[in-house]
Structure 1
Amino acid sequence: MNAPVPTPQADDPAPSPRRIPAVERLVGGASAAELETYGRTAFTDAIRAVLAEIRAGGGPVPDTESIRAAASARLAAERRPSLRPVFNLTGTVLHTNLGRALLPRSAAEAVAAVMVQASNLEFDLETGARGERDDHVEALICRLTGAEAAVVVNNNAAAVLLVLNALAMRKEVVVSRGELVEIGGSFRVPDVMVRAGCRLREVGTTNRTHLRDYAEALGPRTGLVMKVHPSNYAIAGFTAVADPVALHALCRERGVPLADDLGSGSLVDLAAYGLPPEPTIRAALERADVVTFSGDKLLGAVQCGIVAGRKDLIARVRKNPLKRALRVDKMTYAALEAVLRLYLHPERLRVELPTLRLLTRDRDSIAAQADSIREGLAKLDFEPEVILTSFHGVPRSYLLKGDPYHCQCHKTGRLIREALGLSPEKMRVTFQSALVLTPASAGSRGAGGRCRRLAEELRRLPVPVIGRISDEAVRLDLRTLEDEAGFLDSLAALPPVAGGGRTPRRTP
């Protein structure tokens, strides 16, 4: 982003090309700090760019210090990293657009250690021969999941693509119609089948697929049966799915591998932490031959995809040429290994793993934090209101990508609805940690515009603050806020608004 050209005072003399200072003079008058910071060549180029804009503008010529300042501002803007830290106050703990899982300190330190010097990425220190990079995490994955073998690729979509291509190229892949999903970025299961060189064989209907549907589809052309976890939607009402144990037995009888794409993939029973239960990888491998899952969702590690399962099938996956194209680097292995080791100490997992720590924050700590920081919002022309409502459970869509304020609970929805006597349409939950900023003149025609302007100002802060706009209010969800001091420091850069300083409200 280019810095604005300095505007001279109104009483400056009329512009003249001869009055524009020479480049050498402007660069020669620069401070030693400027030249040391940006380099003489870059500073000279920036001066030329500013002068070109002055000539094109046709207005008065600014003084030399203003021109140098404009050049420095231009260079500072260019040096600002494109990928920057932000405060994710959207309410979505694992937000795809905001980087998903936060790494624990041990993982960050492990990554830093292998970034700055050589490592044994593909070198066996015992034999001195070439090693296999998956060896750094494979034993840990197998220990935690019960798998016989495992490989790592760059994300779960790649894991699915690799499994399909390695196990069912030029063959049919049997999938229930109710599981032909589309996830973010228009990633559709049927399209992936085509790219993997497989032929899709749909069975059942959208809402009901029986074991007999799979049995009738299996034949000499079948390369794989695939289950796809419906992570972002639910089919309720008159539904039926084949019993997974019976389906696995059928596949073994017919000699066809069964793959289960779990998507997020949890290594622990989330119900033990007061969260809705999710199928664990270990449980999935008891009724499937191969399981694919993500490393940066519920597992809480770095972006990657993991394929775990039978040793003979994983060997075919590892030998596939696509494996090299989809492999991950040393930083990914270092971070993943560090996170997996946390799972060996389950008593400390809730404290050490940021994803689990944030998902299980208690109401009292969030309320105390809200009371602490709302005073920092006093200069805004908005009424800060703390919303701490009770709720029946955290839906899976909330954990990953759903609306954090009004979410449709699905995965465990049937059990919860039965317990509460609620219909699917009424099973809505309100999350409990929103700091709602409502314009002082709420309900006026300009309230929506003022919310959008505030959201823009929050995004321009030294460390941008990302929230949500809903019901003519800016909502900042505090569940994911751990650096309270840093948040307040960044918030201090907001320009004061006349008429601010209103007394905050709190809704118990």
Structure 2
Amino acid sequence: MVSNMSQSPYRSLPAVDAVLSDSRMTNLELGPIVAVEAARSAIAQARAQIAAGEEAPSQDAVIDLAVEHARGLAATSLRAVINATGVVIHTNLGRAPLATDALRAAQGACTLEYDLTTGGRGSRRDHAEALLTGLSGAEAALVVNNCAAAVVLMLAATSKDKEVLISRSELVEIGGSFRIPDILECSGARLREVGTTNRTYLKDYEGAIGPQTGAILRVHPSNFSVTGFVHRPTPAELASLAHDHELPFLHDLGSGTFIPLPDSLPADGDPVQELEAGADCVCFSGDKLLGGPQAGIVLGTQAMIDTMARHPLARAFRVGKLTLAALEHTLASYRRAQPESVPTYRMLHLSAETLRERAMNLAKQLEGLGLEIEVASSEDAVGGGSHPDATVEGAAIGLRPREGSVTRLSERLRRGSPAVIGTLRDDRLWIHLRTVDPADESALLKALRSASQVQRA
């Protein structure tokens, strides 16, 4: 009689040592920790299949699965992709694209906190401050790790345990389910809401000012906008009111830049203009319209910036050499009057005619791949919460397989190398040329050919 133990399908599975000794695993040269974890994971998955009533996989299948797991464990998940969505500052795709040499200064040892002139310790604050004050005319500048941190630091330095006046229309929820009130209250300040969602007047702020008031704050509403029966005071009016009561006026622009925007976009996010209007401090993101790395940039009076720089949170929010290198590179491009070397600027200012010509040329090279191809005008977005109601005219290529589904084509492109991210709309996959670097067009064409051939196979 054969025992039940000998008939168990689990006994056909390879041991961990057998998986590890197979040449397919040893050739990976990934080290024992990853290899053992992958082997155990593959065997556990095979046991789960048996427990679910499926046939026991062969030893070769288990080892192939272990190889797949090992490669996944050793791979990095942050990958370069081709952004063909037409959204220039795409939050999910890393926001502003950086110039290829933006990080060069930080790749090895660098003068992060070293003064070459004196041979002594320097300040990391110096690297970007001179460029920022030169571009903006501000007395001083400070860089922290993002714009939310900049706002928290502004309030912590000026209004801890005091009231900060803010319009109800600006208490919005931003990306990742974070809410402006929750972020601001982390500073230790107390928010005092004034006005209504759609209409806030200067008298609403004035009526709320009292002994406990620490500052007046304006916050950019990001992707939220109210139109129609609306009103809110100008920054100049708020600054004047604040100064009449010896209070600081703080302005969170959300997104800012030092160069003109395309004519189709409203003039918004100009820190120079807001400082001239009387703001004591303005802050904005480095990785939005500016086209640099993730950072929170604060411009303002010397006294206020120095107070913020001495605050303990400034140490918690400080940036490292990679951020400073990329930011300094970006700012220097503007200072040298060479904005076209900043990818975000270049993408935003591409003409519809140039993009249509590129789209037509690329479409010709896609003929014969079993695709229905259409070149059409597109409405490209700025992204990153900047100008949510405005677009820039561009051009896109619409693709639809003659055999198979457009969803499957999009999936194959996402999983390819390089990954290509387009937009699914009207039963077509749209490739927007505005956000595709011309240097990546050959890689894009190769990816489209590969995905189309697999689709037809």
Q: TM-score, normalised by structure 1?
A: 0.78
Alpha-carbon contact 1:269-1:278 (below 8 Å) kept: no
For 2:218 and 2:197, locate their aligned partners in 1 and report how far apart those are by CA, in whole Å: 14
For 2:257 and 2:242, locate their aligned partners in 1 and report how far apart those are by CA, in whole Å: 25
Tell me the secondary structure at the aligned position of residue 451 of structure 2. Answer: coil
Q: TM-score, normalised by structure 2?
A: 0.86
| One of 356, 360, 372 as aligned partner of 1:383 | 372
Displacement of 1:129 in angstroms is: 4.5
| 1:204-250 deviation line (CA, Å, top 9, x unaligned) | 33333333332222222110011122342333233333233233222
Q: After the TM superposition, which residues 92-103 of structure 1 pair with which residues of structure 2 at under 5 Å, given as runs?
A: 92-103=87-98
Displacement of 1:90 in angstroms is: 1.3
Residue 3 of structure 2 is matched in structure 1 by: none
For 2:241 and 2:43, locate their aligned partners in 1 and report how far apart those are by CA, in whole Å: 76
1:243 aligns with 2:234: yes
Residue 209 of structure 2 is matched in structure 1 by: 218
| One of 387, 408, 412 as aligned partner of 1:457 | 412
Q: After the TM superposition, which residues 417-496 of structure 1 pair with which residues of structure 2 at under 5 Å, given as runs?
A: 431-438=393-400, 440=402, 450-482=405-437, 483-494=440-451, 496=453
1:408 aligns with 2:398: no
Amino acid at match of 2:446: D
For 2:185 and 2:141, locate their aligned partners in 1 and report how far apart those are by CA, in whole Å: 25
1:104 aligns with 2:95: no
Displacement of 1:436 in angstroms is: 1.6
1:157 aligns with 2:148: yes
For 1:178 and 1:85, locate their aligned partners in 2 and report how far apart those are by CA, in whole Å: 37
1:363 aligns with 2:316: no
Displacement of 1:402 in angstroms is: 7.2
| 1:446-503 deviation line (CA, Å, top 9, x unaligned) | x9xx333332222111222112222232222111111101112223332537779xxx
Q: After the TM superposition, which residues 29-48 of structure 1 pair with which residues of structure 2 at under 5 Å, given as runs?
A: 30=23, 34=27, 37-39=29-31, 42-43=34-35, 46-47=38-39
Q: After the TM superposition, which residues 18-417 of structure 1 pair with which residues of structure 2 at under 5 Å, given as runs?
A: 27=20, 30=23, 34=27, 37-39=29-31, 42-43=34-35, 46-47=38-39, 49-51=41-43, 53-54=45-46, 59=55, 62=58, 69-111=64-106, 113=107, 116-117=108-109, 119-270=110-261, 275-287=265-277, 288-346=279-337, 348-350=338-340, 352-375=341-364, 377-378=366-367, 382-388=371-377, 398-401=381-384, 408-409=389-390
Tell me the secondary structure at the aligned position of residue 331 of structure 2. Answer: helix
Tell me the secondary structure at the aligned position of residue 450 of structure 2. Answer: coil
Displacement of 1:163 in angstroms is: 0.8
For 1:230 and 1:68, locate their aligned partners in 2 and report how far apart those are by CA, in whole Å: 53
Displacement of 1:286 in angstroms is: 1.2
Tell me the secondary structure at the aligned position of residue 141 of structure 1. Answer: helix
Alpha-carbon contact 1:26-1:68 (below 8 Å) kept: yes
- Give the length in aligned residue pairs: 444
Tell me the secondary structure at the aligned position of residue 476 of structure 1. Answer: strand
Displacement of 1:33 in angstroms is: 7.6
Once the two structures are aligned, what percentage of the paired residues are identical? 41
Displacement of 1:55 in angstroms is: 5.9
Tell me the secondary structure at the aligned position of residue 282 of structure 2. Answer: strand
1:223–1:45: structure 2 CA closer, same or farther, 3 Å change rule? closer
Amino acid at match of 1:99: G
Stretch moving more, 122-131 or 249-258: 122-131
Tell me the secondary structure at the aligned position of residue 92 of structure 2. Answer: helix
- The structure in which a higher percent of residues are strand is 2
Tell me the secondary structure at the aligned position of residue 432 of structure 1. Answer: strand
For 2:135 and 2:241, locate their aligned partners in 1 and report how far apart those are by CA, in whole Å: 27
Displacement of 1:294 in angstroms is: 0.5
For 1:209 and 1:41, locate their aligned partners in 2 and report how far apart those are by CA, in whole Å: 61
Stretch moving more, 476-485 or 363-372: 363-372
| 1:337-374 deviation line (CA, Å, top 9, x unaligned) | 1111111121x212x01001111112333223223333
Displacement of 1:252 in angstroms is: 1.6
Stretch moving more, 223-232 or 22-31: 22-31
For 1:206 and 1:71, locate their aligned partners in 2 and report how far apart those are by CA, in whole Å: 56
| 1:381-407 deviation line (CA, Å, top 9, x unaligned) | 542211126x7xx7xxx2124799xx7
For 2:244 and 2:47, locate their aligned partners in 1 and report how far apart those are by CA, in whole Å: 80
Alpha-carbon contact 1:266-1:278 (below 8 Å) kept: no
Amino acid at match of 1:241: R
Tell me the secondary structure at the aligned position of residue 72 of structure 1. Answer: helix
1:304–1:181: structure 2 CA closer, same or farther, 3 Å change rule? same
For 1:438 and 1:384, locate their aligned partners in 2 and report how far apart those are by CA, in whole Å: 7
For 1:15 and 1:276, locate their aligned partners in 2 and report how far apart those are by CA, in whole Å: 71
Displacement of 1:83 in angstroms is: 0.5
For 1:123 and 1:497, locate their aligned partners in 2 and report how far apart those are by CA, in whole Å: 54
Displacement of 1:167 in angstroms is: 0.7
Displacement of 1:28 in angstroms is: 5.0
Stretch moving more, 429-438 or 197-206: 429-438
Tell me the secondary structure at the aligned position of residue 494 of structure 1. Answer: helix
